[in-house]
Amino acid sequence: MKNKSELLYERLKSEILSGVYPVGSQLPRESEFARQNEVALLTLRAALTRLEADHLIARLPRSGTFVLSRESNQARIIQLRIEGYSGELQTERQFVRDLVLGVANAAYLKGYQLQICDCMSEPDKLKIQYQKGEFCGIIWDRPPRSLYDDISALEELNIPQVTINRQVPQVPQISCDYPGAIRQAMCFLRSIGHRQVALIDLKDPKDAFVARKQEFVNELRFSGVAEPEGYLWEQSFPPPHDCWVELAEHFRRRPGITAVIVYYTHLKEFCRFVDTAQLGVPRDLSVIVWGDSQESCPEKELAFSMLSESRFEIGAAAVDKLEEQLTGGRPVLNELVTPKLVVRNSCTLARNMKLVETPAAQPLI
């Protein structure tokens, strides 16, 4: 006679194959799932282990249990092409590793294999590789402009592709909502009393940079700041060695600045200015770093607040958009992913603000 775990395994397998639990759906939490099936938790786990061995489900730590695709008649490989990829994932920045993790997690759930390579790795051979069935689609992470013609040529052949943070005509794109990122940071700073905020950004004509600077100006104007354009300081990359002196003059002309959003490429120069001017963070300036940086405040070992792209979510969204093309769908060309703001000790109330404690209510006599 079959024991309970074998009977449960066969029933769950039948329900998965018949579509009761669709591909990509998440099964209930194990404790709840065991209760629904009127079995002990160990009995459920034994059945799930067999389903996982059959490649019908995936059990991901801290995420849950998911039903996998059953289209296994041919290997399905997604190429993730990353600008400047070193070939060793453990040596890459967290910025890159978060993206890879997001792509890998979503690809695994949908039954894809993942191949990671550098953007510039033999782009002229991609057409032949695709025709030979070596991959089924490409995710390009911030491809350089020199590759746009190659990407367009592949698009004309209807090869499924997605770009991240770069816009190539007719190719679906996933990007960070840059104006939304600035809006999120400005709303937070305004909520703790900051009105005069400076933005230190990269001088770049790309649409994403222009859009976020315009959003910054609009937010300052909303806060009632006169001549908001004057609170924006731009510099090319790499910045000149002595540009911190120019930055100091920028702050000297606007002594009312109490908070700064600084792009990570200029963080070193900003730290030199802060250190030389003997400004305290957050005593004199609240600071939010935009981008991928692990720098600390020069005054003491104080990590900056961070405004960064949600790279894990971007990676997962890129896989979803690629699969839409693989299944004959027509994905939206441009999808924005909300950024994340991590607030640390480098932000506090504006220096002209203070907390007011509400006196305790007096008892009625």
CATH architecture of the domain with residue range 178-308: 3-Layer(aba) Sandwich (3.40)
Q: Using one digit for the tens of pLDDT, what is the confidence trace for 267-291?
A: 888 999 999 999 888 889 999 998 8
Confidence of residue 365 (pLDDT cuts 50, 70, 90): very low
Q: Is the pLDDT of residue 110 over 90?
A: no
Q: Using one digit for the tens of pLDDT, what is the confidence trace for 157-189?
A: 888 999 998 889 999 999 989 899 999 999 999
Q: Considering only 74-88, 105-119, 141-155, which range has the smallest mean pLDDT? A: 74-88
Summarize the confidence of residues 233-256 as an average pLDDT. Answer: 88
pLDDT of residue 72: 43
Q: Is the pLDDT of residue 299 over 90?
A: no
Mean pLDDT, rounded, of the chain: 86
Tokens representing residue 6 in the block: 């074998």
Q: Is the pLDDT of residue 73 over 50?
A: no
Q: Is the pLDDT of residue 61 over 70?
A: no
Q: What is the CATH number of domain 4-67?
A: 1.10.10.10
* CA-wise closest residue to 259 among 300, 311, 223, 212: 223
Distance CA 325, CA 137 (A): 9
Listed in sequence order, the DSSP H helices in the chain are: 4-17, 30-36, 41-53, 94-109, 126-131, 148-156, 178-191, 207-222, 243-252, 267-276, 311-326
Confidence of residue 239 (pLDDT cuts 50, 70, 90): confident
Q: Considering only 49-53, 83-87, 359-363, which range has the smallest mean pLDDT? A: 359-363
Confidence of residue 82 (pLDDT cuts 50, 70, 90): very high
Is 77-171 in the same CATH topology as 4-67?
no
Q: Is the pLDDT of residue 216 over 90?
A: yes
Nearest 5°: the CA angle 99, 90, 166 is 30
Q: Is the pLDDT of residue 362 over 80?
A: no
DSSP annotation string for 259-317: EEEEEGGGHHHHHHHHHHTT--TTTT-EEEEESS---B-SSSS-BPEEEE--HHHHHHH
Q: Is the dihedral of CA 81, 84, 89, 93 positive or negative?
A: negative
pLDDT of residue 296: 46
User: What fold characterizes domain 77-171?
Assistant: Rossmann fold (3.40.50)
Break the chain into its structural domains and give their ranges: 4-67, 77-171, 178-308
Instruction: Give the three-state DSSP class for 248.
Output: helix
Kindly report whether the global pTM for this prediction surpasses the value 0.75: no
Confidence of residue 325 (pLDDT cuts 50, 70, 90): confident
Q: Is the pLDDT of residue 97 over 80?
A: yes
- Cβ–Cβ < 8 Å for 318, 174: yes
pLDDT of residue 252: 92
